[in-house]
Chain A
Amino acid sequence: MAVTVTPQQLIEALRAGDRRALARAITLVENREPAGEAILQSLYPLTGNAFIVGVTGAPGVGKSTLVSALIDAYRQRGARVGVIAVDPSSPFSGGAILGDRIRLAGSRRDEGVYFRSLSNRGQVGGLSRATGDIIHVLDAAGFDVIIVETVGAGQSEVEIMRYAHTVLVLTAPGLGDDVQASKAGILEIGDIFVVNKADREGADRTASELRHMISLAPQGDGDAWKPPVILTVASTGQGIDDLVAAIEQHREYLKDRDTLARRRRQLVERHLGELVSERLLAALQRAAGDRWRQAVDEVVARRRSPADAVRRLLSDVDVLAGLAREAGSGGGDPVEA
């Protein structure tokens, strides 16, 4: 595309349903280009209408297949669906193979579905930030439901799932140990548990194990949400209507209890906190210059503890004066480590 378009033109086009403009805007946002920042800024007032569903679980349990079934179910109900498939695994080259699209029922053309694959580009915290920003773009573009798929393996997934209103945690029979292993972080973030591959032997047992574990989890007050366990066969669509009904119930629950507003406040607070630390760090590094590198050297050589080095940096009046100047100047990405 040799024509250059302004962020404003992109926004108008994507609001009018131009997918190419939407895709381009998402790229700019993901890459954190200045135009991307401008797009986010203009779109932000238009967000807040989408319902966001997170789907997580071990590789191979059927997340992508389930997402495809959910897309169909929501389309039948007239909702427009955006999907972000996040694959955080990538080798040192920084490259990635993103294969979640394979499960998308491929040949059907549908203007009401947008699907985007996202990889980890090695930035710490960058993946969940990018996911959150892309959710905003899809939200402003008018998608009613936004589904985020990610492998349930670590901190970044838990982070990403914070953006969701309803988190589905998937398991499948025959992963026995996996249910155990996933107990730690995953049990707390699940609003609905799905035992997929219910056509396989052991599904009922996996479901009752899950129910048992959920019953052992600390209970909230009387009307606190009790995560249901739903059995599905994602590849045939069996159980999907029950699942959509459960998601709907959770959505009602959130609305009634004002939990949505509270969650959103927490999210915004975290987001602002992240932005402030990121900007302050970048400003400090610029302001401190050699002194920053010196501090790193000293800790590497174990002449100082990290806390001591930081205390020294932050009590250096020259650094502080520079920081005040730099932080005020606004823009700028953190220095690459």
Chain B
Amino acid sequence: MDRPIRVLVAKPGMDAHDRGAKVIARAFRDAGMEVIYTGLRQTPQAIVDAAVDEDVDVVGLSILSGAHNTLVPRIMDLLRQAGLDDVVVVVGGIIPDDDIPALKAAGVAEVFGPGSDLDRIVEFVRQAVRERQRIG
């Protein structure tokens, strides 16, 4: 059976709204994926616990607060500790170009800024999961 890709869409940090996260969650859903949405203000540990429990293929992080440089490496660390090295992590939100290389070095597969084309994000995720499954 062709099982759907499972994605955790999470909002770490103190962002006040989750419009962007919901837009991307719907785009993943419309592309046939199963999206687990955890709501606002999740701690890195809660996000990683959810990723473990739900056995997701992908974690999508939405961060507007500017705290990505601390939050993202922390989450990547906890994911590794939990044995989830194979999960594809994508980050969306307001991320200055200068910060992107460090996030990728921490293991993030791709960073999508505001106004990114939704189809492109969906296609990227699909491709990345396919590649990891081939290796795995």
Binding site for B on A (CB under 8 A): 1-2, 19-20, 23-24, 26-27, 31-32, 90-91, 93-99, 101-102, 106-107, 109, 114-117, 119, 121, 333
Contacts and interface: CB of A to CB of B under 8 A. Distances in A.
B101 interface: no
B86 A109 contact: no
Nearest to A98: B36
A91 B33 CA distance: 11
Contacts of A119: 34
Contacts of B52: 19-20, 23
Interface of B: 1, 3-4, 25-26, 28-39, 41-43, 45-46, 49-50, 52-55, 82-86, 135-136
B45 A109 contact: yes
A102 B55 contact: no
B86 A2 contact: yes
Contact of A107 (B30, B43, B82, B84): B43
- Interface core residue of A97, A98, A107, A115 (most chain B CB under 10 Å): A97
Contacts of A109: 45-46, 49
B53 A115 contact: yes
Contacts of A23: 52-55
A247 to B, nearest CB: 24
Contacts of B37: 97-99, 101-102
Contacts of A94: 4, 32
Contacts of A20: 52, 55, 82-84
B70 to A, nearest CB: 17
Contacts of A95: 4, 28-35
Nearest to A102: B39
A117 B53 CA distance: 9
